[in-house]
Chains A and B, each alone.
Chain A
Amino acid sequence: MAVPLISVEGVHVSFGDTNALTNLTLDVPAGGLLALVGPSGCGKTTALRVIAGFQDVDAGSVSIRGRQVLGPSVNVAPEKRNVGMVFQDYALFPHISVAENVGYGISGSDRVARVAEVLDLVGLNGYESRFPHELSGGEQQRVALARALAPSPDVVLLDEPFSNLDAPQRERMRRELKATIRSAGVTAVLVTHDQAEALAIADVIAVMRKGSIRQVGRPDEVYRSPVDPWVAGFLGDAILLQGTIEHGAISTSVGSIDTDIADGSSAIVMIRPEWISPSVVDQGQGTVVDTEFYGHDQRVEIELMDGDKVEALVPSLRAISVGDSVDLEILDAVVFPQLVP
């Protein structure tokens, strides 16, 4: 693997008694967008602030483009790290115009040209003399992005960039942001608590829990092959079933699933609702007890022989209704060895 653009190693941060980051290690590849995702309080914003230089650490190191910016005897000031940042509330300077905001981080003769260039990139030409309070939330965000991109930073860090936008705007800004970052050719690290947002926008996602990284990978990869039940549940709906392995397979209430895990140990099977394909039969494995029709698909709740209930997400074309007897086909499943507590 190529040298990572940002390399975070063994970072510890504590606020009083609580540990915000415990042994955080993360490599950010050059180019593309990495989403740092996790539930609130998992330390993802703190991690971003460590990279930006706003957070002192108890231990650990950070390198950007091969230069150590944080280490046992190094702590490069934020203004000397060449890192752009888009803050959650945008943090635009309220007392100066859009052009002055965008040009704040650059100097030299090509300042005016560069401001015009990045404003063009975010589609805000003609807004130069406006003031931040005259802009909509989406426009403010674009100014914040333009301002962060203007000094041509090594990396742009974005802290919950969509949290202040309403739902329809959010989706549009998400696409726009992705396109802008791609055309600017800059590496970006984005923090979000919204796993759907992370899956949709990122080239690589890093799932965090309790101050450290649990899994890094392409969105589809992490969604399909989570490393543990927690990551599985965080990224989407997950049906978790317990069972014991016999003859290279684990037997569950939805059927038998093959696995490499040694016979005799107990394990957890994770199945996503859309991986279950029910078909209506006369005498099936279970009975449909509830349906919810969404339009693009439908959720079907099935009660099995032993009383367990599972949910399946089924294409809306398939006719299925309460009381139907169904057989279940399991399209995919992940088996986690169960750790002895």
Chain B
Amino acid sequence: MTSGRTVFEVDPEAIGPSAELKRSRNSRQRAPWWLWAGALALVAPIGISILALLVRGLGATDAAWATLFSFRTVQLIGRSFALTALVTVTATIIGVGGAWVLARTDIGFKRLWGVSFAMPLVIPSYVLAMVIVSASGPRGLFADLVGIQLPFVSGLVGAWLTLSLATYPYVFLITAAAIGRIDPALEEAARGLGASPSRVFRTVIVPQLRPAIGAGALLAALYTLSDFGAVSLMRFDAFTRVIYAQYSGRLDRTPAIILSIVLILIAGVIIAAEQRTRGKGTVFTSKPSRPPSVHRLAGTQRVLSVGAISIVVAFGTLFPIAALIGWIVRGANNGADISVPWKAIGGSLTGGTLAAITAVVFTVPIVVLVVRYASRRTVLLERSVFVGFSLPHITVAIAVVAFTITWAGPVYQTLGMLVVVYAAMFLAQSVSAARASLAQIDPAIEEASRSLGRGPFATLLAVTVPLMRRGLLAGGALVFVTTLKELPATLLLSPPGFSTLAVRIWSSADELLYARAATSSLILIAVSVLPLYYLSIKPREVVD
């Protein structure tokens, strides 16, 4: 017969803290009402504005809809699609190529190359555009300094070049992260089974990278479709530029609204596709056992690789910075206006700081709901936060203008409204930063506070928020930096007399006052880099 010893042994896997943790998460009670109130305070007004815009579009007159199907609109859609396709393909080639060379070859100076390759992230697209426009042409900076006349770069070619440089870092960072997650053992297993290097690449590497490359490409496409600064300075009539022209040049806002609706719908398709790829890149979460094998570059390969990367870094990073300095020097010699724009700096810092604080305050209830009270409703809440982040800013601004003029006249073009729109648009950045830090806090710590006599709100203030402070600070910094660079919503929603560095750069460049634009650009870049550097936020987090 049997003795009891082996029959009732305890399964050690089932008693680890993870099982208990999981249980305590699933078992939470109903979220307090004030969490939902706080979470919706910022999201709801913007969401309602956008829904109201869509509803209003449905109720627009036939004449208004007729403009939509006019030849000009079809042309407009075609132009935007062409630009988006060109930029996406170019950015993907540069981003994936750079990621592969830097991650998997012995190119040397990898940290330096990596940082300078991601550098264009901190240069706003309109600064890049301004630099390219102002350097090219018979009277451009390049002709002036070097003596060689470059053809005038603008229109489709200019927008293509600018936005490719502005967006490839997204593809680069996401792909590089995915390459880092590949377990070299898989490649070795394939080689061991007799596969040739090219077959390994096709059947092992590419399938693992496809989700990441797809996500990066969609992000680049969305960025291009949403960008206003570069296409307007390049005088390329993409959606955003036409919407802005329709809005500012006419009393009847219906055409701008109709075009915004179309742009929202097109962006919606890309956002939906992007959301589907989200997380798919993390299927291979197993930490690689060791660093991957590094491909030794042969002579010609090395020259080609270093050459290609140098060209990208030269165009995307060195040349813009050099050109900005060049314009300031030239301006100083010519007596152009290169004074420090204190008013615009003040406006940028005010807007950025208030937006960051607002976003962080409203991030707390959202993150607590999403992490601690997960349900279908919180998934919807989180999604809408990310959709708000992904929609073209100019369409959000148009929606808010249309809504406030009709329903909330007194807040129209106030600083408060601008800050609320900033915070709502960039909430996704602080939410994802804070979410990660809350997810690391054992819910038992909050329960300990409850069992020691503090209510849910007191616990939030005394325990949860202090423990999340790093994530909240990082999130606030990201919102601050993104707000500094924001252009179209600022143009549409600023209170009279309010200016920011972004607006000053754009309007100076539009008036061909390049020295003035360059001064503000360098200040803007410096102010953006500092908080990221200080909080050692990795470029990857800027993308997410």
Chain B: minimal CB distance from A129 (Å): 18
Contact in complex: A91, B442 (CB < 8 Å): yes
Which of B5-13, B77-85, B98-106 lines the interface with chain A? B5-13
Indicate if A95 sits at the interface (CB-CB under 8 A). yes
Indicate if B496 sits at the interface (CB-CB under 8 A). no
Indicate if A186 sits at the interface (CB-CB under 8 A). no
Indicate if B335 sits at the interface (CB-CB under 8 A). no
Residues of chain B within 8 A (CB-CB) of A309 are 1
Residues of chain A within 8 A (CB-CB) of B463 are 93
Most buried by A among B5, B27, B442: B27
Residues of chain A within 8 A (CB-CB) of B188 are none
Residues of chain A within 8 A (CB-CB) of B146 are none
Closest 8 pairs (CB-CB, A-B): A105-B452, A233-B4, A238-B4, A91-B444, A40-B14, A78-B450, A91-B448, A87-B444
- Chain B contact residues, majority secondary structure: helix
Chain B: minimal CB distance from A102 (Å): 10
User: Which one of A39, A77, A88 contacts B444 once the chains associate, using CB atoms below 8 Å?
Assistant: A88
Which of A26-34, A50-58, A198-206 lines the interface with chain B? A50-58
Could you name 5 residue pairs across A and B whose Cβ atoms are closer than 8 Å?
Answer: A40-B15, A46-B23, A89-B17, A105-B454, A239-B3
Q: A88-B20, A239-B3, A310-B1 are in contact. Are A77 and B455 (CB under 8 A)?
A: yes
A114 to B11, CA, bound (A): 41
Chain A: minimal CB distance from B15 (Å): 5
In chain B, positions 418-454 with a C-beta closer than 8 Å to chain A are 442, 444-445, 447-454
Indicate if A151 sits at the interface (CB-CB under 8 A). yes
Nearest residue, chain B, Cβ from A156: B451
Contact in complex: A93, B23 (CB < 8 Å): no
A322 to B285, CA, bound (A): 54
Q: A40-B11, A41-B14, A93-B448 are in contact. Are A105 and B453 (CB under 8 A)?
A: yes
Indicate if B466 sits at the interface (CB-CB under 8 A). yes
Contact in complex: A104, B15 (CB < 8 Å): no
Contact in complex: A93, B450 (CB < 8 Å): no
Q: A91-B442, A233-B7 are in contact. Are A79 and B14 (CB under 8 A)?
A: no
Residues of chain B within 8 A (CB-CB) of A104 are 449, 452, 454, 462
Indicate if A308 sits at the interface (CB-CB under 8 A). yes
A237 to B450, CA, bound (A): 41
A40 to B26, CA, bound (A): 18
Chain A: minimal CB distance from B452 (Å): 3
Residues of chain B within 8 A (CB-CB) of A237 are 3-5
Contact in complex: A234, B8 (CB < 8 Å): yes
Indicate if A84 sits at the interface (CB-CB under 8 A). yes
User: Which one of B3, B27, B449, B452 contacts A49 once the chains associate, using CB atoms below 8 Å?
Assistant: B27
Residues of B near any A CB (own CB < 8 A): 1-5, 7-8, 10-11, 14-15, 17, 19-20, 23-24, 26-27, 29, 442, 444-445, 447-456, 462-463, 466-467
User: Which one of B2, B445, B466 contacts A91 once the chains associate, using CB atoms below 8 Å?
Assistant: B445
Residues of chain A within 8 A (CB-CB) of B467 are 94-95
Indicate if A241 sits at the interface (CB-CB under 8 A). yes
A45 to B4, CA, bound (A): 24
Indicate if A85 sits at the interface (CB-CB under 8 A). yes
Chain A: minimal CB distance from B23 (Å): 7
A232 to B3, CA, bound (A): 11
Residues of chain B within 8 A (CB-CB) of A236 are 4
Residues of chain B within 8 A (CB-CB) of A234 are 4, 8
User: Which one of B23, B24, B27, B449 contacts A56 once the chains associate, using CB atoms below 8 Å?
Assistant: B27
With A84-B452, A85-B451, A240-B2 known, 7 other A-B pairs at CB within 8 A are A77-B455, A79-B450, A79-B454, A89-B442, A93-B463, A151-B453, A308-B1
Most buried by B among A238, A309, A310: A238
Chain B: minimal CB distance from A244 (Å): 15
Q: A54-B27, A79-B455 are in contact. Are A40 and B2 (CB under 8 A)?
A: no
Indicate if A15 sits at the interface (CB-CB under 8 A). yes
A242 to B8, CA, bound (A): 19
Indicate if A327 sits at the interface (CB-CB under 8 A). no
Indicate if A273 sits at the interface (CB-CB under 8 A). yes
Residues of chain B within 8 A (CB-CB) of A194 are 10
Residues of chain A within 8 A (CB-CB) of B454 are 79, 104-105
A42 to B19, CA, bound (A): 13
Q: A79-B451, A79-B452 are in contact. Are A40 and B10 (CB under 8 A)?
A: yes
Residues of chain A within 8 A (CB-CB) of B17 are 88-89
Residues of chain B within 8 A (CB-CB) of A49 are 24, 27
Contact in complex: B10, A89 (CB < 8 Å): no
Nearest residue, chain A, Cβ from B11: A40
A39 to B12, CA, bound (A): 10
Residues of chain B within 8 A (CB-CB) of A310 are 1
Nearest residue, chain A, Cβ from B454: A79
A94 to B467, CA, bound (A): 8
A241 to B455, CA, bound (A): 55
Q: A15-B26, A93-B463, A95-B467 are in contact. Are A193 and B8 (CB under 8 A)?
A: no
A56 to B453, CA, bound (A): 18
A55 to B29, CA, bound (A): 7
Residues of chain B within 8 A (CB-CB) of A151 are 452-453
Chain A: minimal CB distance from B59 (Å): 44
Residues of chain A within 8 A (CB-CB) of B20 are 45, 88, 159
Indicate if A125 sits at the interface (CB-CB under 8 A). no
Residues of chain A within 8 A (CB-CB) of B24 are 49, 54
Indicate if A163 sits at the interface (CB-CB under 8 A). yes
User: Which one of B1, B442, B445 contacts A240 once the chains associate, using CB atoms below 8 Å?
Assistant: B1
A53 to B455, CA, bound (A): 12
- Chain A 64-90 against B: per-residue CB contact (8 Å), 1 yes, 0 no? 000000000000011111011101110
Q: A15-B27, A84-B451 are in contact. Are A163 and B444 (CB under 8 A)?
A: no
A333 to B15, CA, bound (A): 33
A80 to B24, CA, bound (A): 19
Contact in complex: A39, B8 (CB < 8 Å): yes
Indicate if A142 sits at the interface (CB-CB under 8 A). no
Chain B: minimal CB distance from A169 (Å): 18
Residues of chain A within 8 A (CB-CB) of B15 are 40, 160, 163, 193
Contact in complex: A77, B450 (CB < 8 Å): yes
Contact in complex: A55, B452 (CB < 8 Å): no
Chain A: minimal CB distance from B10 (Å): 5
Chain B: minimal CB distance from A311 (Å): 5
User: Which one of B3, B27, B444 contacts A46 once the chains associate, using CB atoms below 8 Å?
Assistant: B27
A218 to B456, CA, bound (A): 39
User: Which one of A45, A77, A92, A233 contacts B8 once the chains associate, using CB atoms below 8 Å?
Assistant: A233
